[in-house]
Every structure is written in structure tokens, then in C-alpha cells.
């Protein structure tokens, strides 16, 4: 029966609880890893010189395969538009588009590394759902930090702009600070403690300023770590203070580990 | 009526709750962003060569506009001296002064990047007051850490001075450690883990010392992160896990901010 | 009696509570430290030129000694296979194998630095068992973080792959970004804030991208610190603020480790 | 009366609660700062060329002054040996010795920067005793972390040794990894994320190894931050969980903020 086929197909593609579905996901996982590795290897000049033709052929093979898979997913999805618009739907499409674009524009094939995002999906193959749970806690913590991070970034960008303009005036193009944008780049390299050294202050006054920037900057840049740590603690990453103990009366799900009454309705837990 | 005009003007300039006031703030926001971008672009040699004249004309246009706005703010402010002396009053003045100074002194136009500080004000346009709330929590946390940071900085400066003098003796001018101030600059670059590499130890003993400095230094520099994290937690950054709200019945002192019942005895708070 | 000899030998080798056993462990500690130092020194060209013969002779002496010791350990161990397969058994073997391999393959002698892992064992000589307790807490904290770290590393590797491919396209081989693997190396050097500067962006667009990577990356890389801190707190690293010891009277579950009375009702614990 | 003079002198020198004692401490503070600055300036070649004679004369003046002060301190101290052996007694002596050593050995004058440690004493002049209180909390936190830090450093040194030996074999003297000690220096520069770039891997395999080291290393190096943060929290740096509320019965000084009974004797607080 046709409907039956579509449903069975959807089960194999979207679920992982039958041997067939599992085999499909494992095969997909390896196909993704291998195809990404091929593209990474193709970028190495010596490899490209010797195996370029082979790599491109394989690349097209994988792309046709993934295109077919994408078509099947759209076909078998219960809510087609829902799938196409979902995060995974968009990633699945982005995983094949770059290769087709090479017909028009050279170099786009390297964007197939976006395929690596598909690996996030096949995590569940190995019953790694608990990892995704952890990822969820991480994501919650990061989302909760979002506003603090926006405030923080705005402040940092203002500081970086002012430091950059000052260093541009102090050091000038003669010492590599060619323009304010370049000086801003230097300020970010310094504040994040990356410190390439491609541009560094030369004049005594510039060095003194840079030293102040580093020390102040270190304090500034300690803030994200503090924010993330605090949010992780709060999101229950550190286990207690909150545990999952639903209130029998009102259903509030989490309570502090040593609570004896629901903090919402006062019912004894 | 004249007084009515002044009051209406003050409302448009200082508030954000009417369409006119809102439109004023949005226009101001864009004017600030564009004018700062112009100055940043002007510092790029190739852009200055082609569009220098245009950029300087626009720059003067914005400066006249902002000067007019500053005059209106002073005129419309309820307590004029209060505004002029306030943080925002000073920033508004600093946002126009650099351009006028270019008539006397070349290069000062780049200080108009101070205008970016004005962006802090227009945050509220987009109902971002809660962001400012977050900023307030951050500021509280940093202020509470102030004393600890002063003690910490004094200790670090002493350490940096002693390390600098030692490295100056060990490596000397032949390897880039030209003087104690330069060696102190190197010590700060190393302790903050920026590590430009413009100066780095060459002798075996210097390298051994530098390795000790890095490891010890890493411990030292971990302290600000610890301080900020602890203060953020304490300032309630981790959300409202616990606030001081004693239970009227059993006296348990701290509860989660959104609790309505004591978590010990169930009494309504 | 033969069995008695084996048992006495096992006691001297594996325990530390008699003067003989203690002397054995202290001698072993020094032998390990000296033999590792010899190998490290041998790698210095000027030292090798002058003392190469002597160093190699001593090295062989130590290796024979350690081989003998390993044989004795296997002989005296209660459960021989258990010892051979244990972490310390493997390390003891790895500590002698590299020297014998030099007969076949040059350069392998440098792997005798693996001997330094043996130092972990002789910690207990100086009643440093509490240090091992601390190490245990650390290990527990790190093990508890394992899943979070795997999720985190997978996400970071995907990000690094995409950043690397983008920078390879933007900067290209002309500016040192020779291939995607090299660009990935650059991305890791930048994200971890190491920043050697052996490869750094040259084009304005590349610098802008790098600046975004650094700022985003700084946030990403703040996560491990947050995870470790949270897990350390949870593993009771902050000393024993609270342990699970329910009060027999009121049932309060956690108390400070050194508490003798319930902090809620005063009942003796 | 002679004893009266000695006592008055001791009061001026060691206390800060009379105008004379305060004036003495403020004068001392400035003398220290100025004399350290003189030595720092003397190390700058251009300054030394012009003002060398003057700087050395002033330096000798300050040294004679500080020697006199040291003699007076020894004379006026209640327990002379106690003062001479105390931390401050040793620092006071070290502050004058380097200048006298220049009569025998050139270059030692730069060690007078040890004088900066004397600044720690005059903190109290400005009623900064609370800063010292903060420093005390910091010191307590660091002392409590000591054992953990020793375990951590031993582990790090073993790791660094093994990484160094491996990189020495992989990259070798041709790429700057001249010997295992140099490779260890590189490993420390990389693990602490300083990253000078004076030595960096060149071969593909070396770069891959370095990338693994950076990522693993970042996790390792996140540990000190976690340790310090946890200890700071525990030392009461973040305020609660412990507050100062002495037990009326047994005198235990600090209790958790929400404790209702002494955790030592059970008395109601």
C-alpha cells in the first residue's frame, strides 16, 4: 500500500527504534563524516593536485545521495512545510546547495562543511539523548545569559572603539596602526588575550596604554566567564540547589534539595 | 505659550513615551551611529584620499546638529546645571568638542568616537530598560568588587615590578628587554596571557623564569575571574535564587524570589 | 621460608609503613626524578656533545634497575595479572620499554619521560594521601563533567570547521591559510586565545571575521571554566560546606561536614 | 628620660594614631615610591646617559635614609629579634642591601624594587585596614587552595613533560624545538594560552598535536580558575553562606545565614 510505504519510509528516516532505521542513521553518520573529510582534504594543494578528480567525483556522488535523501525526507515528512522550515530541514538543504553552486561559482564547495551540523542529529543514534539533555541545559544557560551578554557586548564595543581611536592617534600608521578599524582589531585581539603580535605598540606611551588596556581588559573579559558560571549554576548544572520533585498539589516541578514544602502553594512535599 | 513650548520640547528630548519623543530618539540613535562610522572610515587612508572632503563636510554637519541638540537640552532641562554636570551632560558635550578642536589642533576629530557613549542613553528607546537593569546588576557587582580589585592590583603591580627588574637583569637590552619599564610591559603582556611575542625570553634561564611566571601568573590572574563570579552570584546575577525575606512563622530568612510560601513550614510569605 | 620472602618483598615494594618499605620508595622517587632529568638533559645538543656517552650509560643503568624492579613487582604481587593490567602496572612497563626500543629505533629514548607518571605513586611516601584525596575530588569533578565536555567539544569542532572553511575562502593560501586543515589550526589557536601569530588575517574582511570569532569564541571558551567551576563546587571541592547527613529529628538532609548538631533543630547528629 | 624617648620613637615608627606617627608614615610612603621610580628610570638607557650621576646620588641618599630608619626600627622595637625575623623586618633589610651590594657587584641596584613590598605596610596609613581584611580573605582562600594547587601543578608538570618530549620528537631542532627543555617551555607557553609565537609547530602532524594540546590544555587550565572561585566562595568572599553571628554558648563565630541553632553545641542562636 502506498501510504504504508510512505509511513514505513518516514519511520526509517526519522526514527531510530528499528534495526532498519538504526542502520540508516549509522550509514548517514559515516557518509557525512567521510564527505566532510573529502572536502577538507581537497583544500590541501598537494592532495588536490594528485587526487583532485577523484575527490570531486566522490563529492558529487555524496551530494546526489544527500539530495535524494533530502527529497525523501520532504516526501515522507508528516508536515512537509514544518520539516522544510525546521532547523534540521534548513541544515539538510544547506548541506547539498554548495556543491550545485560550484557550477556557477568556484570555491563554494568548501561550504559543504556545513554538513557537520547534521552530525548533531545523528547523536541520538547512539542513545546520546542524554548528551542532548546536557546540551539543552547548556543552551538554557546561554539563552538566560543573552541579555547580560548583549549589555556586555555593547559596553565592550564602545570601550574598544575609544581604545582603538586613542591608539591610532598615539601609535599611528608608522607602527602598524593604519586606521581606526585596524586599531579596533588590535584592541579586540588584546582584550580577548589572543595577542597575535602582528600589530603591537612600539612607542613607550603606546606600551603604557596597552598595559593599562590589558589589565583593565582582563577584568572586563572576566565577566563572560562569571556570567556563564553563574547561569550554569542557576540552570541546575551543578545539580542542587534545585531538584526535580513535582508538587503533588500544584505541579511545580523543581524545588530546592532541602525544601519540605512547595514554594508555590505550601503543600508538604 | 512660551513655557509650554519649553516643556513640550523637554518632553520630546528627554522622554520616550510619545510618538514625537520616540521618533526624536530613533533619529538621534541613527545620527550617532552614522557619525561615528564616518569618523572611523575617515581614518582609513584610501577612503580619506577619495572621500575626505565629503566626510569632513558631513562630520561638520553632524557636529552642528549635535551642538544645536546640546543647546536645546540645556535650554529645556528643568535643572540646567544638574544636566550640564550629569554623566550624560558631559558626554553630550564631549561628543561635539573634538570637531571644534580640529580648527586649532589636527587629529582631534577622532575623539568624536566618544559619541558612542551616547548610545547608552538611547537604549531605553527600544524598551531596553531591563538591559540597563542588567547593567545595573553588573555595575553593582563590579562596585562591590572594587576594594578586592584594588588590593589585587597593588599586589599584581608589586609582583610585576619585581619580575620586570629580574628579567631585565637576566635577559638585558641585547634580547629586547631594553629597560625595566619595557620589562614590566613584557611581564604584564605575559601575566595577562596576551603574549604578543614582540619581546620574549631568549636565554635558557630567562625562559625558565618566564615559565615560572606564566604558571604562577596564571594562578594570580585566575583571581579576578573568581572575584567577579563570586560577586555576580552574590549580586543576584544568577537570577533570584534566594532573597532575604524572613518567614513570619518559622523565621527562615532567605527564599527564592518567586516563592509565595515558606519552603520550610508552608506559611504564606 | 620462600613464601615469607615473597611476602616480605611485596610489603617493601607495595607498602610504605615500615622503614625498609619507606626507604625503598624514597630511593625509587629519586631514581625516577634523576633518570627523567638525564633524558631531558640528553636532548640538549651541547650537553649531548660533551656527556652523551655518560648519559646513555647511566640511562641504561636506570633502565636495568627499573626492569629488575618491574620483574620483582610482578613476582611479588598477590594477583599478578591484576597488577600487570592496572594503571600503575602499565605505567611501570612503559617506563622501561622506550630504552629497549632504541636498539631498534633511534629517538624512542625520549619517551622514558613517561616515567614521570610513576611519581604519582610515590606521593604516598610523604603521607601525601590527602593530596591524592584532593586529586580524587578533581577526578570526580572532571568525570562528572565528561558528558558536558563531549557535547561542548562536538559543538566547538563543528564551529571550528565552519570558521576554518570560511577563513580559507576569505584569506586563502596567499596569506598563510594554505588549506582548510591549516585554517582549522588557526581557528583553534584563536578560539583558545593562544594566538601564536604565525598565521593571522591580513585582509580587512578577514580581520573583521577574526574579531567576531574572537569575541564569540571568548564566550564559547568561557564555558569549560564554568563547567569545571560548577562541578568542583558540586563535588564538594569548596571543602565540606555541606554533606548529606540527615537529621534524625527534623530530617534536614545536608549539614556542614564539621557540624555536630542539626542547624535547624539543635538535635545532636 | 631615655626609655621615654625610645618608647615615643617606637610609637612614631610603628603606630599611626598620632599626627607625628601619621606624618612619618606618609613621608615614608612617598620616599619608597620615589626611590623605586628612580631605579626604574635609571634602567632606561637615554635617562641614564643624561641623569645617571644624579640618579645614583639620590639613590644613595634614599638608601642611607632607609638604613637609618631600619636601625631606628631595630632600636625601638619591643622585641628586637622578633622584628628582625618578621616578614616586614626582612623586607626592610632587603630594601637597602642591594645598593650596598653595588659596591661589590654591578647591577644589583635594580633589586631595590623589592622596596615596593614595603608599600604593603603603609596601607594602614589611609585607614585601609579593611583592604588588608580583603587581602586576608584572599590569602585564606589561596592558602586553602594550596594542596589542590600542588596536586594540580604536579599533574600539569607531568603532562607538560610528556607533551614536550613528544613535540621535540615530532618537530625537532629544525623547527625551533631545539631540546626537550625548550619544548617544555613551548608547552607551558601554549597551555597557559600566552602563545608568544617565538616557537610554533610547522609540520602538519605537529600542528594537529598542538591543536589537541590547546583544547585539552584549555580544559586543564580552567581548573585553577574553578579552584580559586570555589575557595573564594567558601572563604565567605561572596558573603553568605556564612555570616558572623557568634554563638552565645560556645562562641563559634560564623554560621550559615539561615541557621537557627549553633552547629557546634546546638544552642538556639
Distance (Å) from the alpha carbon of B178 to chain A's nearest alpha carbon: 11
Which chain C residues have a beta carbon less than 8 Å from that of B196? 197
Residue C125 pLDDT: 52
**Which has the minimum average pLDDT: A33-47, B109-123, B196-210, C120-134?**
C120-134
Please give the C-alpha separations between residue A187 and each of A170, B200, C143, C207, in angstroms, as whole numbers: 13, 21, 37, 12
pLDDT single digits (tens) D214-262: 887 777 777 777 777 777 766 554 443 444 556 777 666 555 555 566 6
Q: Flag if D263 and C261 touch (Cβ within 8 Å).
A: yes
Is B212's pLDDT higher than 80? yes
Which chain A residues have a beta carbon less than 8 Å from that of C152? 138
Which chain D residues have a beta carbon less than 8 Å from that of A195? 194-195
Please give the ipTM for the structure prediction: 0.76
pLDDT single digits (tens) A225-254: 777 777 776 655 444 344 455 667 766 555
Arithmetic mean of pLDDT, C167-183: 90
Sorted by sequence, the CB contacts under 8 Å of residue C197 that are 6+ apart come out as A195, A196, A197, A198, B196, B197, D195, D197
Count of other CB atoms within 10 angstroms of residue A61: 13
More confident residue, B256 or C22: C22
Residue D182 pLDDT: 93
How far is D215 from D200, CA to CA, in rounded Å? 16
pLDDT single digits (tens) C78-87: 888 988 998 8
Is B172's pLDDT higher than 90? no
Q: Which candidate from B173, B211, B251 shows the least CB-CB separation from D185? A: B211
Q: B touches which chains (3+ CB pairs under 8 A)?
A: A, C, D
Q: B-contacting residues of A 187-226, CB under 8 Å?
A: 190, 193-197, 200, 204, 207-208, 210-211, 214-215, 217-219, 222-223, 225-226
Q: Which candidate from D193, D197, D229 shows the least CB-CB separation from A193? A: D193
Mean pLDDT estimate for chain C = 79
Please give the C-alpha separations between residue A67 and each of A70, A87, C165, in angstroms, as whole numbers: 5, 17, 22
Q: Which residue of B has its CA nearest to D226?
A: B226
Is C210's pLDDT higher than 90? yes
Q: Flag if B194 and A214 touch (Cβ within 8 Å).
A: yes
Is A189's pLDDT higher than 60? yes
Residue A58 pLDDT: 93
User: What is the share, in percent, of chain A residues with pLDDT greater than 70?
Assistant: 73
Residue A234 pLDDT: 63
Distance (Å) from the alpha carbon of A230 to chain C's nearest alpha carbon: 8
Which chain B residues have a beta carbon less than 8 Å from that of D238? 230-231, 233-234
pLDDT single digits (tens) C125-155: 544 455 555 566 666 666 766 666 776 777 7
Q: Which residue of D has its CA nearest to A198?
A: D197
Contact B129/C at CB under 8 A: no
Task: Pick the residue of C195, C196, C211 with the most B CBs within 10 A to test the interface with B by mutation.
Answer: C195
Tell me the pTM.
0.79
Residue A50 pLDDT: 92
Taking 70 as the pLDDT cut, the residues of chain D under it are 1-3, 120-142, 144-149, 151, 233-246, 250-269
Arithmetic mean of pLDDT, B111-116: 78
- Compute the radius of gyration of chain C from its Cα atoms: 27
Contact D29/B at CB under 8 A: no
How far is B210 from B187, CA to CA, in rounded Å? 9
Q: Flag if D39 and B208 touch (Cβ within 8 Å).
A: no
User: What is the share, in percent, of chain B residues with pLDDT greater than 70?
Assistant: 73
pLDDT single digits (tens) A106-115: 777 777 777 7
Which chain A residues have a beta carbon less than 8 Å from that of B113? 161-162, 164-165, 180
Q: Flag if C197 and B197 touch (Cβ within 8 Å).
A: yes
Q: Flag if D178 and C256 touch (Cβ within 8 Å).
A: no
Closest to D198 (Cα-Cα) out of D210, D207, D189, D211: D189
A18 DSSP assignment: S
pLDDT band at A127; cut points 50, 70, 90: very low
Q: D-contacting residues of C 108-127, CB under 8 Å?
A: 110-111, 113-114, 116-117, 119-120, 123
| Displacement of CA C13 from its chain's centroid (Å) | 24
More confident residue, B223 or D254: B223
| Cis, bond preceding A241 (omega within 30 deg of 0) | yes
Arithmetic mean of pLDDT, C169-188: 91
pLDDT single digits (tens) A214-225: 887 777 777 777
CA angle A227/B155/D15 to nearest 5° reads 125
User: What is the share, in percent, of chain C residues with pLDDT greater than 70?
Assistant: 73
Residue B57 pLDDT: 92
**Which has the minimum average pLDDT: A136-150, B165-179, C255-269?**
C255-269
Residue D203 pLDDT: 92
Which chain A residues have a beta carbon less than 8 Å from that of D197? 196-197
Q: Flag if C232 and D217 touch (Cβ within 8 Å).
A: no
Is C91's pLDDT higher than 80? yes
Amino acid at each position: 500500500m502506498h501510504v504504508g510505504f510512505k509511513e514505513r519510509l518516514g519511520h526509517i528516516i526519522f526514527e531510530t527504534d528499528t534495526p532498519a532505521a538504526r542502520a540508516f542513521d549509522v550509514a548517514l553518520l559515516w557518509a557525512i563524516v567521510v564527505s566532510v573529510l573529502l572536502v577538507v582534504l581537497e583544500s590541501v594543494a598537494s592532495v588536490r593536485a594528485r587526487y583532485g578528480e577523484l575527490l570531486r567525483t566522490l563529492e558529487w556522488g555524496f551530494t546526489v545521495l544527500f539530495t535524494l535523501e533530502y527529497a525523501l525526507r520532504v516526501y515522507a515528512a508528516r508536515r512537509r512545510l514544518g520539516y522544510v522550515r525546521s532547523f534540521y530541514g534548513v541544515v539538510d538543504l544547506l548541506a547539498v546547495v554548495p556543491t550545485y553552486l560550484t557550477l556557477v561559482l568556484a570555491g563554494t564547495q568548501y561550504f559543504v562543511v556545513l554538513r557537520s551540523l547534521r552530525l548533531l542529529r545523528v547523536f541520538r543514534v547512539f542513545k546520546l539523548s542524554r548528551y542532548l539533555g546536557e546540551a539543552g541545559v547548556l543552551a538554557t544557560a546561554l539563552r538566560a545569559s543573552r541579555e547580560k551578554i548583549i549589555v556586555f557586548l555593547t559596553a565592550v564595543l564602545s570601550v574598544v572603539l575609544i581604545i582603538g581611536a586613542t591608539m591610532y592617534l598615539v601609535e599611528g600608521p608608522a607602527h602598524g596602526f593604519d586606521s581606526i578599524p585596524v586599531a579596533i582589531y588590535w584592541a579586540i585581539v588584546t582584550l580577548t588575550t589572543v595577542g597575535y603580535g602582528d600589530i603591537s605598540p612600539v612607542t613607550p606611551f603606546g606600551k603604557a596604554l596597552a598595559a593599562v588596556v590589558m589589565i583593565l581588559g582582563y577584568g572586563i573579559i572576566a565577566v563572560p566567564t562569571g556570567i556563564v558560571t553563574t547561569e550554569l549554576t542557576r540552570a541546575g548544572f551543578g545539580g542542587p540547589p534545585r531538584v526535580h520533585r513535582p508538587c503533588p498539589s500544584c505541579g511545580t516541578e523543581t524545588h530546592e534539595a532541602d525544601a519540605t514544602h512547595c514554594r508555590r502553594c505550601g503543600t508538604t512535599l
